[in-house]
Structure 1
């Protein structure tokens, strides 16, 4: 062989080796990013739905990438990130894997990311933007990048809106891209009007998702986001069919087992809500076992909050207390970075006292120790002080009631001072609780005029405030409490109007139905009284309820 040919072939060989080495050499910046790694915690059969994202990279990593996206769609963010990082480790030049990590720490439908996560998102996307990619991949990377850009100076809501606008561009540019449409609807949900009740974004998103569902019947994101967008009293009926399908689409997801109960709760379908959350809690315990923790686990606590609420609406105190007993001794919670994990810790004991009008129990509630500073969770902490304030007023411990109202006032002022647009619902809810507590303090002190005025102010705020998606319902709705006050004032006709308005928004509530029956009876409307008392008996027929209201209903029907 001629020397020139030998040198040429040797040069080509060395060049190929060099290219290969360069391709496989990891970016040094990756070592500075605190990626989540480790085995995925996939309980059950490991089924999280079916999808195929056309923008995955190497064929060898496609299954991991699609699993990561499926986990992302069911809000299993920790495992989603691990799965995307697995793709990065196998193919560090895959830009969409970095996109997936950035999406996994955004938590679009949840609370805003922490400062640590925002810094991480910038790091991850800085690496991604240096990679070679096609135009469509670049569009996806740039879309999520606008959320993390200048996060130190631009508020969360503005950056979320930027992301929504970029996802709309991608959806319109690539109308055949199912994932683009789905992630656009998630972006719409994240920027919805959180206090209003027109549900413009939710209806727009729902229309897009419904158009995709028939051809993608096992896609976890479509079903999941339909439920989220219809999780309100106005649109809930549109999500019932989907709610009954989602758990079967992603049977291994604890969140997928739970989410249908949001629709069941809005519609007052308590048996299905209970079954949904029993399955969700069981799935969550599987994850606890895999994590080797005994702490209060968010998914389990969230499911139990919904279970307690559903059992209470059936008048089933026994089963509600059993659920509370399962978590009330937890002295630590997991994960620590989920703000929402503190909500059920405060809400569940408050519900048990208030729904039963057990004012002494409410006045003597103690905050459960979790190892975290309750002062950092003003919204959740306010629920506890609201319950104590109502309990104190009704037991005529006015000094305690005043003390609790002062605490509520401070918590409300603290939340206002934070000036966080993503917390508008929570701020309004604390204000409703504050005015309600003030109303009942006046009322129980025989200052009826001020009591009624404050109660009506609370109702006015409640009318324009949407329910937070985390909660199955307020521990006691202001409108229902207005009905209680009017009934005590011997104004049964006005009380009936209040109860019925509340029932139109919070279907089949035990206290609302009983209140409506009592108001109708006292006003002489025996037809309506019969209707509501029968409804109360039907509501509680499978619960062996021992609440006195059920006995009263049975006696009325027996003698009517």
Structure 2
């Protein structure tokens, strides 16, 4: 009897331990990011209460991870989810959280190593016990990672959005499901769809939620992303002015409002929020990798330079460019950093029509970027060089730059990067137009510029950039002025200002065109607008001196 009880006890203990460890996952192959969370300030990231966290002991960490995820603080979100995994390895939703932290649906398609990591995470989670809702969350994001070797990125994003839609319809009162569905829906929108049907649908879902939960970071954040278009931006303005207050310690939350401010030409507000964003990003870099610069800072700098240039503030724009050239290390190396590194010098040269500087721009060598991986970003520089060469009458150099742009377009097509290839194609058409003008081919010049305008009108800007290096319709206005066609120029500039309000060169161009047309009233209106836009910038732009003289003499 004693022996029987002894063995019975052993069997019971084995059963208990077996139940506890039957799904013990192998974490070694998952390449998880660990470490203390680097949260500047008081760690305020908004209010989140996620129903599908696991143990009570990990609930606070899980909710913090969700809040970080909602503000795209991806690295820290992953670390927080991994803290949950380390404390509770059988929490299936924590593996889902890591898979979500490495899936950046609004950004570029993830590289293969990320897709492999996501697939492995989900394979581990499948083997763990979980609630029905957790099962649905995992199946939804699994629809993106599944068959990634053979199914294209857009199709997989659509599959994920469809799965989240099914969850949303089955759980209409679950805030987090609704928020993640709206984000998945927005991420599934293609940039060539100018009806913005999907974006509007996502925005409406989020607006209803925002009334009930005005301190939720994801709701505010994704409203801004849904309305980050000239035609929709006004719908996101109120939310943009709230988001930074909801998550004051997130560099991305401080930056995101400027997407709406930029669309509406609210330069002072954009400058204010990006200064705060850059400072927060510096804090994060100092605590994470002292001596290096985080992508969040570089991204904010790109928007800052754009805004400074629109108020004629060359001093601050140039200071930021000088600062960028002092960087020795940046992280993580990605398309955002590459874009900003070429866009800043290109914008400074193009906005000021400093054609000598434009013609001689060089790729930055201080950031450790492998530029062969970034043909779209390099195109910014070569487009600017082409325009500089044309205006300095070095037409042979302009042809060389055009051929370089054409090679980038071909490379992007080969990489199945149709959107980016199209953006380069627009730059090619603009450069071809001005080269035709330089060669005395007026009709060809106008035709090519009008084609560029039409192409750009059908293509949304990329989320990583505040706008094109120079809008095509603004450059069409410049061409008409150069051809002594002020009536056509004024039409082009005014169309441009509807989509790109308060751009310095757009407003100035409209004023000059109106003046040449003899339209004193419009010339006065636009020159006064230019003076008002730049009143706080201490600008030394010669266009302002011209505006002041016109107003004083009229």
What CA distance in whole angstroms lies between the structure 2 residues aligned with 1:311 and 1:174?
46
Matched, 1:486 2:477: no
Within 2, Cα distance between the matches of 1:134 and 1:291? 36
Q: Tell me which moved more, 242-251 or 326-335.
A: 326-335
RMSD after superposition: 1.5
| Cross-structure match for 1:189 | 186
Partner of residue 522, structure 1:
516
Matched, 1:340 2:352: no
- SS of structure 2 residue aligned to 1:327: helix
Q: Distance in 2 between matches of 1:76 and 1:16?
A: 43
Contact conserved, 2:408 with 2:421, CA < 8 A, in 1? no
Inter-partner Cα distance in structure 1 for 2:49 and 2:9: 38
Which residue of structure 2 lines up, in the alignment, with residue 349 of structure 1? 345
The alignment partner of 1:214 has SS state of helix
Q: Deviations over 1:509-555 (max 9, x none)?
A: 00000000000110011111111000000001111111111111111
Q: CA deviation at 1:10?
A: 6.9
Where does residue 442 of structure 2 map in the other structure? 448
Shift of residue 448, structure 1, vs aligned partner: 1.7
Contact 2:286 2:292 in 1 (8 A): no
Question: 1:233 pairs with 230, 234, 247, which one?
Answer: 230
The match for 2:548 is 554
- Structure 1 44/119 Cα, relative in aligned 2: closer, same or farther at 3 Å? same
| Structure 1 range deviating more: 367-376 or 88-97 | 367-376
**Partner Cα distance (2:132, 2:288) in 1:** 40
DSSP 3-state at the match of 1:133? coil
Match of 2:262 among 260, 265, 269: 265
> How far is the alpha carbon of 1:333 from its aligned partner?
2.2
Question: What is the CA–CA distance in structure 1 between the aligned matches of 2:16 and 2:302, rounded to whole Å?
Answer: 56
1:417 maps to what in 2? 414
Task: Provide TM-score, normalisation by structure 1.
Answer: 0.96
- Kindly indicate whether the alpha-carbon contact (under 8 Å) linking 2:233 and 2:260 is maintained by their aligned counterparts in 1: yes
Query: Which of 466, 485, 496 is equivalent to 2:490?
Result: 496
Structure 1, unmatched stretches of 5+, are none
- What SS does the aligned partner of 1:40 have? coil
**What is the CA distance between 1:28 and its match in structure 2?**
4.9
1:372–1:472 Cα change, 3 Å: same
Distance 1:400 1:531 in 2: 40
Q: 1:534 aligns with which of 528, 543, 546?
A: 528
On the 8 A contact 2:338/2:369 being kept in 1, the answer is no
- Residues in 1 aligned to 2:338 and 2:290: alpha-carbon distance in whole angstroms: 17
C-alpha contact 2:23 2:128 (8 A) present in aligned 1: no
Distance 2:500 2:192 in 1: 17
* Aligned mate of 1:433, from 427, 430, 439: 427
Q: C-alpha distance in 1, partners of 2:108/2:256?
A: 17
The 5-angstrom pairing of residues 129-278 of structure 1 reads 129-278=126-275
Q: Corresponding residue for 2:499?
A: 505
- Report the counterpart of residue 91 of structure 1 in structure 2: 88
Q: Deviations over 1:309-330 (max 9, x none)?
A: 0010000101111111111122
* Partner secondary structure for residue 175 of structure 1: coil
Give yes or no for contact 1:306–1:472 (8 Å, CA) kept in 2: yes
Deviates more, 1:449-458 or 1:25-34: 25-34
Matched position secondary structure for 1:440? helix
Q: Which residue of 2 aligns with 1:367?
A: 363
Count of paired positions: 553
CA distance in 2, matches of 1:25, 1:79: 30
Given that 1:296 and 1:327 are in contact with CA atoms closer than 8 Å, whether structure 2 keeps it comes out as no
SS of residue matched to 1:93: coil
In structure 2, distance between residues paired with 1:12 and 1:72: 46
Q: For residue 480 of structure 1, report the CA deviation from its aligned partner.
A: 0.3
Corresponding residue of 1:109: 106
Inter-partner Cα distance in structure 1 for 2:170 and 2:13: 38
In the other structure, the counterpart of 2:325 is 328
Displaced runs of 4 or more, over 4 A: 6-10
Following superposition, the deviation at residue 371 of structure 1 comes to: 2.0
Equivalent in 314, 317, 339 of residue 317 of structure 1: 314
Q: Does the CA contact (< 8 Å) of 2:102 and 2:114 recur in 1?
A: yes
Matches within 5 A, 1:43-122: 43-122=40-119
Shift of 1:331: 3.7
